[in-house]
Chains A and B, each alone.
Chain A
Amino acid sequence: MRALVVDDSKAMRVILSQILRDLHFEVLDACDGLDAVKKLEGQGPIELALVDWNMPNMKGIDFVRHVREQNLRPEMRIVMVTTETEMDYVQQALTAGADEYVMKPFTKDVILEKLGLIGIQVR
C-alpha cells in the first residue's frame, strides 16, 4: 500500500512517514497542498493521505476540497492530522471529504486506531 504524508514540518513528515513505513506502507511526502497535488500526478494508486491543516501555498483543507471536488483519487482515504482542535474545524474537514481527523499531539496507537476505523487493516 502507498501513502502520502502532507505537512510543512519536516520533523512531522519524518515521524508520520516512519509510523507508516513500520506498517509496511510505501510513503511519498509533500511540504504543502500544492506540492501534494503535484505528487499525485502520474502516480499509481495511493490508498491513504495524512494531511496537515496549516501550510503555506495551499492549506490542507483546500487540498482535501480540491481532491474530492475534482474526484482525483476516489480510492484515497484522507485523514487530517492537525493542531486545530475546535469542533468547527472537525466539521469542516468531514464536510470537505476527509474520512477521519487526528488532533496533534497523537501517539502511534491513535494513528493505528484511526486507520482501522477507515477500513485500512494494518495489524
Chain B
Amino acid sequence: MPISSPDFSFIQTLVRERSAIVLEPGKEYLAESRLAPVARSAGLGGIGELVARLRQEPRGQLTEKVIEAMTTNETSFFRDVHPFEALRTNLLPELMKARGKERTLNVWCAASSSGQEPYTIAMIMRESIPALVEWRLRFIATDISQEMLRRSRDGIYSQLEVNRGLPAKYLVKYFEKRGTDWQIKADLRSMIEFKELNLIQGWPAMPPLDIVFIRNVLIYFDLPTKRTILGRIRQAMHPGGYLFLGGAETTLSIDENFKREQAGPSWCYRL
C-alpha cells in the first residue's frame, strides 16, 4: 500500500533529524520498499501502523530499525571497479614509496554498509603490498547501522553476494565456505576495525588518513552538511592522502581546498 503524504513527511523529518539524510519528494517508493519489511518483521499491518507506532515511541528500537533501513546503501565487492584499480596500479605503489620509512598506513572507509567495500580494499592491499604484515596499518570502517556493523564483522556473504563482482581467485584465497554462505577468512577480518559512526555527530579521534573512501554518501546530504563533512575529512587527512567519492559526487563548489586528480582509470581528491 502506498505511503500517505503525512506519513512520508514524518519519515522525512525523522531520517533528516537522526542522520541528516534528505529524502526528497518523489522518494516515496524508497520509503515503501525499505519500510514494508520493517513493518512486517514487527508484526504490524503496514507502513501506516509502523508510523503510528513511531509517533507513540519515537525513542524505541523500532525507530533505530527504520533509520537503518532508510540509510543502508546497495553495495557489492569491487563496486564501480575503477577506484580499486586506481588503488592497485597507482596509489598503493606511490604510498609505499612515500611511507616506506615509517611504514604506517591509515585507511578509513566511511558508510561501509555490509562490509564489501572495506574487504575489497583489504584484499587489494594484501595483493599489492607483499610485506604488509611489517607495516603499521590502521584500517577503520564505519557505518551508522549496528546491524550492518555486525554483518561486516561476521564477514558472511550469500552466494549471490560473492557472485557479484568478486574475482574468483579472491574467493578461493580469502573466503571459506560456510554451509551455503561464504565467510571472509579470519586474518582478513582482523585487518579492519568496524566502528559505529554517524557522520553528522561527533567523530572519534582518527590517525592521519592516507586513504579515505566515502562513496555514494554525500549525495544524500544537503549542501551545508556536505561542506561540514568534507571539512572534517580534510582535517583528518594526511597532507599527501587520497579521497575517493562516488561517481556522481564532487568537492567542486563545496570545498575548494580539494583538488581533483586523475588516478589511473579513476578520479580522486587531494589537498
Contacts and interface: CB of A to CB of B under 8 A. Distances in A.
Interface in B127-169: 159-160, 162-165, 167-169
A90 B160 CA distance: 15
Interface residues of B, number: 18
A94 B164 contact: no
B233 interface: no
Contacts of B180: 85
Contacts of B176: 87
Interface residues of A, number: 21
B172 A117 contact: no
What's the dominant secondary structure at chain B's contact region? mixed
B125 interface: no
A26 B238 CA distance: 50
A109 B163 CA distance: 10
Nearest to B77: A113
B163 A110 contact: yes
B81 interface: yes
Interface of B: 76, 78, 81, 159-160, 162-165, 167-169, 171-172, 175-177, 180
14 contacts: A85-B159, A85-B177, A87-B175, A90-B171, A91-B172, A94-B168, A94-B169, A101-B168, A107-B160, A110-B160, A110-B163, A113-B78, A113-B164, A116-B81
Given A94-B168, A94-B172, 5 more contacts: A87-B175, A90-B172, A93-B168, A107-B160, A114-B165
